[in-house]
Amino acid sequence: MSGTTPTTPRIALVLAGCMMLVLAGCRAPGKPGPAEPRPDRVMEFAKLYKQNCAACHGEEGKRGLAVSLSNPVYIAIAGKEAVLNATAKGGPGKLMPAFAKSYGGTLTDAQIEVLADGIVRHWGQPQLLAGKNPPSYAATLAGDAAAGNAAYTAYCTRCHAEEAIDKTHIAGPITDANYLALISDQGLRTAILSGRPEEGMPDWRGIAPRPLTDRQVTDIVAWLASLRKTPASPNTASSKEKSHE
């Protein structure tokens, strides 16, 4: 036993010395990295997007549940103003909350600007639709539901009927009143105009043999809107106060 007495502390000393050398020399694993900024000081597009939008619009703006924000056709039609507006005040339907602090969200105006600007600059293609004369982003005409029904049956049912004809692009029915209660007219219009490229829905140019006209798009939306239980409310049905139980 007594043999260990003098050597053990010496070993400890040597170990401690080595440690100090290592500390001074290389990068210690415990050394803290740069401090996290406050949430309202984050100004990087990728970080802001991941934190606030990725859940519904998909990582990198792709394959999300809602509008594909990385779809350049969507960006070209909607423009930065509409993107900024939706981000700040909430989407056209009630499914997307407002993000600006002034509308009850958590992001500052500067952060909203970073997001809108980032979406347009990262994912947009400036001259994509130059000369293609797409229908306007927002509807300007009054819709005709009967004409819309005809156009829908002609162009949409091949993918959207319960027994779809185009088996490669089975998309499921969108005439279900429950579904229509959860999407706004603008949401429908956006879907028709910009399509869902990742899932196989073409944009307004590829749905019919000829590109759909503004009138046709407006009519189809009008017809779909007429299938809602509460055609008066343009948005989601949560305004309807129905009590369960």
Partner 1 sequence: MKDLKQRGLRIFQWFEKRTGLLKPLEEMARHPTPSSAASWWYVFGSAAMVLLIMQVMTGILLALVYSPSASNAYASLQFINHNLRLGWFLRAMHGWGSDFMIAIVLIHMMQVFLFGAYKYPRELTWIAGVFLLLLTLGMAFTGQVLRFDQDAYWGLGIGASVTSRIPFIGAPMVHLLLGGPIIGGATLSRFFALHVFLIPALLLAFVGLHLLMVLRLGINEWPMPGRLVRKSDYDRNYVALTKSTGVPFVPDAAWKDAVFAAVILLAVMACAFFFGPFGPGGQPDPTIIQTVPRPDFFFLWLYAVLAFLPPEMETPALLIAPVAIVGGLLLLPLIAGEGEKHWSRRPVAVLMVTLIAVTLGTFTHLGLHTPWSPAMDSWSSDPVPASFVEHRTPLERRGALLLQQKQCRNCHSIGGVGGRRGPALDAVATEMTGDQIVRQILQGGGNMPAYGKALSPEETTAITQYLRTLRGPGLRPAADASQGLQPQNASHPVDSTKGASGAP
Q: How far is the CB of 82 from ligand HEC (least distance, A)?
A: 5
Hey, what amino acid is at 103?
A: Y
Residue closer to partner 1, measured from CB, 162 or 166: 162
Which residue from 148, 149, 150, 85 is spatially nearest to 112, judged by alpha carbons?
85
Rounded distance between C-alpha atoms, residue 181 and residue 174, angstroms: 11
With CB atoms as reference, the residue minimizing the distance to ligand HEC is 93
DSSP one-letter code for 20: H
* Contact characters 122-161, ligand HEC, x per CB under 6 A: ---------------------------------xx-xxx-
Q: What's the Rg (C-alpha) of the chain? A: 27
Binding site partner of 207, from partner 1, ligand HEC, none, Cβ cut-off 5-8 A by kind:
ligand HEC
Number of chain residues interacting with ligand HEC (CB under 6 A):
45
By CB under 8 A, tell whether 58 contacts partner 1. Answer: yes
By CB under 6 A, tell whether 225 contacts ligand HEC. Answer: no
What are the two backbone dihedrals, phi and then psi, of residue 201, each rounded to the nearest 5 degrees? -100, 120
Kindly tell me which residue out of 8, 199, 230, 240 binds ligand HEC, with binding defined by CB under 6 A.
Answer: 199
By CB under 8 A, tell whether 181 contacts partner 1. Answer: yes
The DSSP string of 74-122 is: HHHHHHHHHHHHHHHH--SSTTS---BGGGT-SB-HHHHHHHHHHIIII
Residue closer to ligand HEC, measured from CB, 15 or 176: 176
Which residue from 175, 182, 178 is spatially nearest to 94, judged by alpha carbons?
182
List all residues 6 or more positions away from 213 whose beta carbon is below 8 Å from its beta carbon: 135
Instruction: Give the Cβ contact number of residue 227 at 10 Å.
Output: 17
Binding site partner of 210, from partner 1, ligand HEC, none, Cβ cut-off 5-8 A by kind:
none
Q: How far is the CB of 60 from ligand HEC (least distance, A)?
A: 13
Kindly tell me which residue out of 75, 76, 88, 96 binds ligand HEC, with binding defined by CB under 6 A.
Answer: 96
By CB under 6 A, the residues from 160 to 189 that bind ligand HEC are: 160, 166, 169, 171-172, 174, 183-184, 186-188
By CB under 8 A, tell whether 35 contacts partner 1. Answer: yes
3-class SS at 192? helix
Rounded distance between C-alpha atoms, residue 84 and residue 110, angstroms: 11
Q: At what angle do helices 72-89 and 185-194 cross, to 10 degrees?
A: 160
Contact residues toward partner 1 (CB under 8 A) are 4-5, 8-9, 12, 15-16, 19, 22-23, 28-32, 34-36, 38-40, 50-56, 58-59, 63-66, 95-97, 106, 149, 152-153, 157, 161-163, 170-179, 181-183, 227, 229, 236-238, 240, 242-245
